[in-house]
Structure 1
Amino acid sequence: MNDPDKGATITITREELHRRAWETPPHELAQEFGITRRRLIEIFIKLAVPYPRRLYWRRKTAGKPVIALNLTSPPQDTPQYIVIEPTLPRRSPHEGSVPWHPLIASWHKERARLRALPPPYGTALDWTPLQLRQHKILDMIFKAVQKDGLVPRDARREKGFIFQYQSIEILCSLTEKKRRIQEPRVRTSEFVFVLKPTGNLVFKIERCFANNGRREWLEEGGRRLEAMVPEIISSIREAALASLRLWQIQQEQTRKSAEVRERREVEAKRRQIDRNRWEAFIEYGHRLTVADQLEKFIRHLECTTSDFSVIIDGRPISDWLRWARSHLEKFDPRLLSTEAIFAEIAERRDSPRPEKSAGL
């Protein structure tokens, strides 16, 4: 069917008219075409298109099972399409109604864009009545919860939608309930299990930080999901608040655990530094003992040497003795000031000993 501007003619085929007849109530379809309901019925008859009666729409509105008649082969002189000339102001299916929630409006905009693409890309179909019903339910839910600070956004990868509430995400879904039935396999005696749509909708809270409260609403016993919307909205609000409180408690526990762990690490590091510094202090005691032994050894060499002019590796023995005594002066802790000793100990934070402490 073409989609001209207001006042232009509408060309529609039998197949398209048949599909629209069983999807849209006649008064809405007539308003969309810009004609009267009587004129619409005349078009159905002229194109030999079966159309639903009032009982069909009553049962469908009540959520009861309905049967749509198939489009059969028409008589030989039946036209395959018709050009409709609007006699009344045309109205789109959603014109005059409350605008969709921005998220749902984006879905409709994307579907319209896909339908406008040339074949084979522009193969997106119109929304089915069940899908439009889902959108109306979601529209009520989205607009209600957004007043409380819950922001709906798409979650196509997870096949649903998310309500964002501060740092909390609540994943939900609205789908058609399917029933698992057993069917015989073609040309065999085996049976297979298949999922068949039931026509009933089910709303689920798929993922939520808090697990308390109701998580699923299913149409059954003639009760439609539209009647459960207030309860769904209330449950989403409660789930958001409970999840936020639980998340805040866990965050506080995580923060306290991190603080305790940090204090333990700081205390362990302080103890390690203290042990390293004490080991450095003990090393000074060992150096004192070694320095006494080296002092005696150097004096022994000075007393037992008869000729200090003997050359060893290009240096006389007297130079070698001065070399040994200069290193001893650097090594002997008694020749260092108290400030220098404790300054070096204070630098001993890690296990490895600073190179300058050796003095050699």
Structure 2
Amino acid sequence: MASWKAKDSIVILGAGIIGLDVALVLVRKGLGPLITVVAEYLPGDTAPDYTSPWAGCNYSSISGSDANALRWDRLGYRHLLQLATQCSAESFVARTASTEIWDDVVPNDKIKIMSEYLENFSVMTPEQLPQGAAFGVTFNTITLHAPKHLQWLYTTLQAAGVTFVRRSVTDLPSAVSPDTKILFNCIGNAAMSFPGVKDAKCYPTRGQVLLVRAPGVKRNMMRYGNGYITYVIPRPLSNDQVILGGYLQKNVGDHATYDHETKDILKRTTALSTELASSNNGQGPEILGVASGLRPSREGGARVERTELVVGGKAIALVHNYGAGGTGYQAGYGMALDAVRKIEQMLPTQELTASL
């Protein structure tokens, strides 16, 4: 046990939702005082390269149909549902009625698995679908106030003994100390070019969103089409704020926002949501801000893999955990569980802090 007393025995590189979820899983094992999170940006910051604060964000069916994505979705939904039930106001996580619509047929396996665990899950009848739609479902989703949820995680982890260090690092070895035994690599989009990673499968997926005030919008709405996605996400505990989107522009790294995209988003979202169109006494949503974000995407899905990093002749367990694309908030906790399992046999068994 003595060799595990250093606060940076476990280092997490990156303080987006993926890195913070890894820290939360470890803290729930009582290991908070062993953890140091190293990141250039921390919760409360806004920067074009800090993706997590710009998320919608909700649980949705946007993820893939592969086994890992489906399993991470289930684990993430269970985690977020627990937060919505036990500490909604503190964590800025809430149950929200949802309708999701597709212009194309959805794989039966995916729908079957979703129906097994989503609250109040129901398949829409053909009469309930809008023109041009092939399939739709309703269920209880989970919505999050992304910036506030990040800050809640930040303070919760600090209270459990986690140390946060604001520092820009140039490569993986520069993130660790002589006491480090485990390094979690949660660097998101930086995985494309970061020395020691340089994952050619990674790419950014640009999206533009609008932050609006729209009293009366209570239902989460999503529509998936060929080359587009439209969404209306009421932001919980936010004085009637709603996130509207959006775009899925693969391999586009542009941080700018564009007026023609804003107009297109407004047109699509007001057509999708009658609540939105009738908000503010029929005047529609009041625009509070416009932002773009780059989802950290990866061909073949997210990478959760253990390798090894040798620094100064010493081997450090290296766990890569990145590439969630637009599913970081819903898949992140499941990914974190997998990432921690890969080094679980290394961890001390004696709890150092009370579990959360």
User: Do they fold alike, i.e. is TM over 0.5?
Assistant: no
* TM-score (norm: length of structure 2): 0.21
Q: Return the index of the structure with the highest Cα Rg.
A: 1
Q: Greater RCO between the two (CA within 8 Å, min separation 6)?
A: 2
Higher normalized strand content (fraction of residues): 2
What is the TM-score of this pair, normalised by structure 1? 0.21
